[in-house]
Chains A and B, each alone.
Chain A
């Protein structure tokens, strides 16, 4: 019983709006996620902080295993705490009724369930495995609407059809009665987006939404997402490993490496004036479509395992600018100018240079 009241209290606790920038929809501070394994805990996300404003797209880039997806799952409250998953830090989210810390909410509690899929929606990489094969697409979209908005069944269905129409699926009335396997990959991803937007979320988390699609279909889906963002005034957290996609989608970009954000900047600044050696390395290792590159400059070595405990900056072993301090102390994300920050000793007072 005591447990229950404690949970109620936490669920009803509101933060004053002063805790958050006025335009922010989501503000994550010092997020840490640890997964238990044989020899201890692997810190997959290690002190990540970022904010997203209304109608803005924050791109999160990084290579496989850098913690991009886990960050998103933590926001959604989808990490299995029962398996020993440890989540620390603040995830402030602005509701109509006030600001709330998602990290303190029980993931299966009443409040979290009313937020998830309703106010914060997520679309996944592989539309084939994330849609249920035994229900029609229309029923699956209507399900979310029924649960969160409580209309009549008929109303829910017509809303589902409207959403399918909004994402550009031809003859939506017939398509609503089709099963996922009857649709093509691009079509399924559109259906996923329709489902995500069906309850008018204020935040949409898109985890590699176009990675499984061909380029011509990817172009369709990206264009659609940009239109819908403006139309529904949704904030988007866009996770991808593709710097090309980021350049055409994001307002701000956070680059992740080994569970940390190493650089955060407006999209043009990031591409034109990258500061962190990892960001520079990523850009120089890309083959260019528009310019002639005689030879690519790869980043040497490979990404270390997140379960291996290490000292200092995670990128130091691969970094061309590595200094003594890099191997002993981990740099924190510090502002370089007003809207640009990097976690690198090259740009702080304690570093030897600058």
Chain B
């Protein structure tokens, strides 16, 4: 289970600003800074959890990697197995720069599972057609082989071969999510971006899908970028975790390190705010004041300073940079080496 040291995906300085239009003044120079300069790398075979509250830019990050959203700025280096020359394989390719034709090829290696299993499947296509579509688009199998492959995929995600002729509305939420997973696996990708794959599901079904994702990772040697807001789910499935706040990464560490010894005040508050299903659990609850500010007009300096209980003068003026303070543990905080923060109390 130990992730290999080889980096599969390396994101450098990724930015996505959405221009704001509308209102009386049609042209506006203001923009929503959804993702505002993030660096992130994912090693082959590992699961990287990306957490944060709504509007922090996690989904935009995931979609930018696949260029379902065009990034404003930044590099996305990806090492595809399908590269022609050996040097390309080693160096990787910048997804942000490739042509549309190259991009189509690259997408065979990077796929996505969406949050809402109700709106991400075409209601007018049968399950068989949905799962076969990627195979057809990329001319991978002949029509006759296609059906066998679809049946194989459906079985691998725990559905029955007879489901092939049915339509999405005949399935429950958990089953639909399985269909989405089968579709994403059809091209045998290396990287799977899972965008809140279980947050629309009930707990008993959520556990089924999480187990399935873990099994598939082992069986197909997959690498996951697992985007979620539920910290217990992220802790369960991830090897490493990155925490986002207002379009920036505030902390990055291995899972146990991040939960037991958080170094950023926001991570500390996030971890302490999670309701633990244990009545006797005493969390060092740090209730944050106020709301997440608007990404149109983020606060000066460290964007977290208006809510931060430890903020000092420098936090209002200078933007902190992500720096590594321990092996593999990076934080974006001026006070990182001065604060002693509380993590989870392990039972």
Contacts and interface: CB of A to CB of B under 8 A. Distances in A.
Contact of B232 (A286, A295, A299): A286
A241 interface: yes
Given A268-B279, A289-B344, A290-B278, A216 B269 contact: yes
B271 to A, nearest CB: 8
Given A247-B277, A248-B275, A63 B232 contact: no
A70 to B, nearest CB: 17
Interface stretch (B5-13, B25-33, B199-207, B313-321): B199-207
Interface string A231-249: 0000000000111111110
A287 B346 contact: no
A158 to B, nearest CB: 26
A30 to B, nearest CB: 27
Contact of B275 (A247, A271, A281, A291): A247
Interface in A208-240: 214-220, 222-223
A245 B204 contact: no
A244 B208 contact: no
Give chain B's interface residue range (CB within 8 Å of chain A): 35 or more
Which of A271, A289, A296, A300 is packed against the most chain B CB atoms within 10 Å?
A289
Given A215-B53, A285-B206, A302-B205, A220 B288 contact: yes
B155 interface: no
A42 to B, nearest CB: 17
Interface in A291-316: 291, 293, 295-300, 302-303
A243 B274 contact: no
A286 B273 contact: no
A218 B208 contact: no
B147 interface: no
A247 B275 CA distance: 8
A243 B277 contact: yes
B257 to A, nearest CB: 14
Contacts of B274: 215, 244, 289
A267 interface: yes
A271 B235 CA distance: 21
A214 B53 CA distance: 6
B280 interface: yes
A288 B232 contact: yes
A14 interface: no
Given A298-B208, A302-B172, A214 B231 contact: no
Contact of B285 (A219, A288, A298, A303): A219
B203 A246 contact: no
A296 B275 contact: no
B203 A291 contact: no
B229 A290 contact: no
B288 A216 contact: yes
Contacts of B232: 244, 286-289
A73 interface: no
Given A247-B279, A288-B232, A281 B204 contact: yes
B72 interface: no
A219 B286 CA distance: 9
Given A187-B291, A296-B236, A63 B202 contact: yes
Contacts of A283: 277
B56 to A, nearest CB: 9
Contacts of B204: 63, 281-282, 285, 298-299
Interface in B296-347: 344-347
A184 interface: yes
A293 B347 contact: no
B233 interface: yes
A215 B276 contact: no
A196 B51 CA distance: 33
Contact of A247 (B54, B207, B278): B278
Nearest to B236: A287
Contacts of B205: 298, 302
A64 interface: yes
Contacts of B229: 214-215
A340 B202 CA distance: 25
Contacts of B210: 287, 296
B211 interface: yes
A246 B344 CA distance: 19
Contacts of B231: 215, 289
Which of A215, A222, A272, A300 is packed against the most chain B CB atoms within 10 Å?
A215
Contacts of A77: none
A201 interface: no
Contact of B276 (A241, A285, A289): A289
A186 interface: yes
Contacts of B346: 290-291
Nearest to A248: B275
Contacts of A243: 203, 277
B292 interface: yes
B54 A244 contact: no
Given A214-B292, A244-B277, A298-B208, 4 more contacts: A248-B279, A287-B233, A287-B236, A299-B207
Interface of B: 53-54, 172, 174-175, 202-208, 210-211, 214, 229, 231-233, 235-237, 259, 269-281, 285, 287-288, 291-292, 344-347
- Identify the 6 closest CB pairs spanning chains A and B, nearest first: A244-B275, A285-B207, A287-B236, A298-B207, A214-B53, A219-B273
14 contacts: A220-B288, A241-B203, A243-B203, A246-B277, A247-B278, A285-B203, A287-B207, A287-B235, A287-B237, A288-B236, A296-B210, A296-B211, A298-B207, A302-B174
